[in-house]
Structure 1
Amino acid sequence: MDLFKILYPIEWVVAWIMVQFHALFRILGLNPASGAAWALSIVGLVVVIRVMLIPLFVRQIRASRGMQLLAPEMQAIQKKYKGKSDPASREAMSRETMELYKKHNTNPLASCLPILAQSPIFFALFRVLNSLQNIASGQQDPIGVMTKELASQAEKATLFGAPLSSTFVKAADLGSLAGNVRFVTILLIVAMSITTFTTQRQLTMKNMPASALQGPMAQQQKMLLYVLPLVFAFSGVNFPIGVLIYWTTTNVWSMGQQFYTIRRMPAPGSEAERMLKERQARKGKVQGQVSAGPELPAIEEPARGQRVQPKRKDRQKKRAPGEGPSTDSGMSEESSDPDDGEAGSTGTTKPKK
């Protein structure tokens, strides 16, 4: 049983998307038999797939941040069980590690989700391009809407003189086209390796806190930074040019998408966060200068001199023992007469003469 038969539904979808984009570019005026029309169809396939994978990309970013933030705690666990190889210690270390992943709501597998999800599509496209010659010659049934005529057209389409279905290792079988195939293959492999390196570097160097750049995990990531481009370089000679176009395009998409995400939502404590705060500070300063508005009229302050003490109401005078109730601030008109005053002092009324 051919294990790759399980990819047939994905091959059907890949072929359908390519044919739809090919029809679109034909309507826009491109020659349907040209390599540009079929190469752009592969680029359109990348756009559709990457848009569908945006939720997985968001999970990947969150998982990567979680792995970065738990790096100091992970180092502490590794230091705690360093040199202990007994089963109990290994079990305890595994348990604490899983609890740490649960605490930060992340795991190492989540950061690989987009790559894992694209792997079936990658192999499906590989098989579609490899099947073009057999479909065109009638040795294989069409793949969905990829009919015999379309397969023959795509199989003969060239990009800079190199057929999209050709590979570097089989370039010698193409005679005069061998040089073009090798040139285009090497060009795409270099572009694929550079974009892979740049994408990994901006993720590890700019979007990681200083604490996460130390320890065994950081050393492994730095090693992958240089190993992955070499892996693509050595394996790329076996891939058809159409597959190299797919992988280079998806790397460019990942690089741009990741650049936007890191610039807008950097990891706490990373170099990207420091640069974001600097941009926000400069932007705030400029906005403050622009929105200052017209000058307000000056407010005149009163002349400063001797302080004027506030006036207070007269307080009631203290009464001596035996005195009657005191009046308010002054006497009434009736008690202002001296005679009345004498009468008031004796408590009797003096008759008038």
Structure 2
Amino acid sequence: MDSQRNILLIALLFVSFLLFQQWNMDNSPQTQQGIEQQVNNSGDVPSHTGDGQPITDQTTSDNLITINTDVLALTVDTLGGDIIEAKLLAYNNELDSVDPFVLLKNGADYQYTAQSGLIGTNGIDTTAGRAQLSVDSDSFTLADGQDELRVPMTYEKNGIAYTKTFIMKRGSYAVDVEYSINNQSDNAASVQMYAQLKQNLVDAGGNLAMPTYHGGAYSADDTKYKKYSFDDMQDKNLNLTINNQGWAAMMQHYFVSAWIPNTQGATNLYTRTGNGLGYIGIRMPAATVAPGAEQTLGATLWVGPKLQDQMEATAPNLNLTVDYGWLWFIASPLHTLLSFIQGIVVNWGVAIIILTFIVRGAMYPLTKAQYTSMAKMRMLQPKLQAMRERLGDDRQRMSQEMMELYKKEKVNPLGGCLPILVQMPIFIALYWSLMESVELRHTPFFGWIHDLSAQDPYFILPVLMGVTMFMIQKMSPTTVTDPMQQKIMTFMPVMFTFFFLWFPSGLVLYWLVSNIVTLIQQTLIYRSLEKKGLHSK
């Protein structure tokens, strides 16, 4: 196996990997808006009976308030106290846009909201409707020098005072939602808190170059992290019990929202669909508040970018929503290393270049062994050809004498293949690490590259990548004599240049630098082999 075939193997494995990812998306059952529902009526609030069935859907009211911190701008409907809009102030909607990215929204054609309430015998969210909460102001802002903002909303019914409080901290995308139940009635009060995310049933999203996921996910006692797509929700309602730690989330590329229960005990994790909407949420254990007593129930809503350190500090396994696939154990350390480098050099593009040199440098012994093995195999070609002519079709004897020759010359026939197989997981892990990094979103490099997460607007990087791939081919000695194979090898750089036109520029930058490192390593290794008399074209 020569180096050109190795390049072809890497290329085909990489493309096959991407095609497989896209095939999984394209061949999953499509969203069916008219699917027969497994519920009685579509709605926003789990039934107070505790059987998971929804009640009448609730529309938003005109009584809205805004809550602003340094990183979040929330719009809350006082009818029930749902978060119907969440703007991420540190992330712009589009490149060079002054408008912030809107994660949660409640439009006429698209809904994605975070709901929470109290159900049960003395719950304030019933089949008759949601509670109209009272609040002192219609606007709340975290002041300069203030680290925490608390926004209480109140409601009274039958001698019971309910206070729903939003608690937000500076620099944090975690929103604590607490319900305080002060029972001044003569009877015990039974309530149960629920929290859920509601979103239109949408396609999984992504494309061949960026096969991203858009849908539900959860964590439970025996499952650290599992996706539960909108198609899964329509096929079967999720119904699990969380006794320890867990959460329910809606994911998309770079961003996630998730409800995490703060109340101890058996918590129900559920999904359902209705009227073209998908729901995933948690229903916490029922609480009994004695007459004259007060009790607090709560949950935390993460609504923001996929920042691994902050998410891990918010809830166990929430950082796994940064989905590195089955090579997470390689991709995660690579992302940590990339972030460390960026902290020193500041520029993420420069960090990618340095990371590429580090990774390829670490693999240099394998690369050297690969080219050395290939050179030795080429030196044996005349002897192998003579052996074929002498033995003809006697394959068994041919195999025996070949193995004896390899042993005598101390040549491993697989020496040129194994390094490639070792490198491929690292290539794929780097691909996922770069693709899942929200830090690269709308991040400039130099010159014409204003967004490392978007394709090169002038296709300069893909063209340079194709040129370096062609140079690697020309530098590599080959024993290929078949004209068709030669044409295929010559066409490979053209095909991959076309393919990489739609790749995010950060990924193309990595591949380009990797090719440049390969050229440097090839030059050094071949010069060393020539001195030993092993390099022969």
Q: Tell me the residue number matched to 1:195.
A: 468
SS of 2:436 mapped into structure 1: helix
Structure 2 residue 297 is matched with structure 1 residue 24: no
The correspondence for 1:47, drawn from 352, 357, 360, is 357
Deviations 1:90-146 (A, max 9, x none): 2222333333333333344322444333321221222223323xxxxxxxxxxxxxx
- Are the equivalent residues in 1 in contact too, given 2:375–2:536 (CA < 8 A)? no
Flag the 1:157–1:107 CA change in 2: closer, same or farther, 3 A. same
Distance in 2, Cα, partners of 1:96 & 1:76: 12
Q: Offset of 1:80 from its aligned partner?
A: 3.3
Q: Tell me the residue number matched to 2:442.
A: 156
- Are the equivalent residues in 2 in contact too, given 1:126–1:239 (CA < 8 A)? no
The correspondence for 2:515, drawn from 251, 260, 271, is 251
Whichever residue aligns with residue 518 of structure 2, its letter is: S
Q: Offset of 1:72 from its aligned partner?
A: 0.4
SS of 1:265 mapped into structure 2: helix
Q: Offset of 1:15 from its aligned partner?
A: 0.3
Distance in 1, Cα, partners of 2:506 & 2:412: 34
The share of aligned pairs that are identical, in percent, is 28
Flag the 1:70–1:195 CA change in 2: closer, same or farther, 3 A. same
Deviations 1:216-274 (A, max 9, x none): 678798556524423422432453321211111111111112212323431627579xx
Q: Offset of 1:77 from its aligned partner?
A: 2.6
Q: Tell me the residue number matched to 1:347.
A: none
Q: Tell me the residue number matched to 1:34.
A: none
The correspondence for 2:395, drawn from 90, 98, 108, is 90
Q: Tell me the residue number matched to 2:423.
A: 118
Rg (Cα) greater in structure: 1
Mean CA deviation greater in 91-100 or 187-196: 91-100
Distance in 1, Cα, partners of 2:425 & 2:510: 13
- Are the equivalent residues in 1 in contact too, given 2:372–2:529 (CA < 8 A)? no
Gaps of 5+ in 2: 1-225, 228-322
Q: Tell me the residue number matched to 1:75.
A: 385
Q: Tell me the residue number matched to 1:268.
A: 533
Q: Tell me the residue number matched to 1:13.
A: 333
Whichever residue aligns with residue 245 of structure 1, its letter is: L
Number of equivalenced pairs: 214
- Are the equivalent residues in 2 in contact too, given 1:43–1:245 (CA < 8 A)? yes
Flag the 1:269–1:39 CA change in 2: closer, same or farther, 3 A. closer
Distance in 2, Cα, partners of 1:16 & 1:72: 49
Deviations 1:254-306 (A, max 9, x none): 1112212323431627579xxxxxxxxxxxxxxxxxxxxxxxxxxxxxxxxxx
SS of 1:110 mapped into structure 2: coil
Flag the 1:256–1:224 CA change in 2: closer, same or farther, 3 A. farther
Distance in 2, Cα, partners of 1:250 & 1:22: 18
Gaps of 5+ in 1: 27-36, 133-150, 168-180, 206-212, 273-353
Flag the 1:226–1:9 CA change in 2: closer, same or farther, 3 A. same
Matches within 5 A, 1:177-216: 181-183=456-458, 186-204=459-477
Distance in 2, Cα, partners of 1:66 & 1:101: 10
- Are the equivalent residues in 1 in contact too, given 2:353–2:509 (CA < 8 A)? yes
Higher relative contact order (CA 8 A, sep 6+): 1
Distance in 1, Cα, partners of 2:411 & 2:529: 18
Whichever residue aligns with residue 14 of structure 1, its letter is: L
Whichever residue aligns with residue 40 of structure 1, its letter is: V
Distance in 2, Cα, partners of 1:232 & 1:157: 25
Q: Tell me the residue number matched to 2:493.
A: 229
Q: Given the two structures, how large is their TM-score scaled by the length of structure 1?
A: 0.53
- Are the equivalent residues in 2 in contact too, given 1:11–1:127 (CA < 8 A)? yes
Q: Tell me the residue number matched to 2:12.
A: none
Flag the 1:118–1:241 CA change in 2: closer, same or farther, 3 A. farther
- Are the equivalent residues in 1 in contact too, given 2:327–2:429 (CA < 8 A)? yes
CA RMSD, Structure 1 to Structure 2 (Å): 3.1
Q: Given the two structures, how large is their TM-score scaled by the length of structure 2?
A: 0.36
Structure 2 residue 370 is matched with structure 1 residue 106: no
SS of 1:239 mapped into structure 2: coil
- Are the equivalent residues in 2 in contact too, given 1:57–1:113 (CA < 8 A)? no
Compare the two structures and name the one with the higher helix fraction.
1
Matches within 5 A, 1:119-158: 119-132=424-437, 151=438, 153-158=439-444
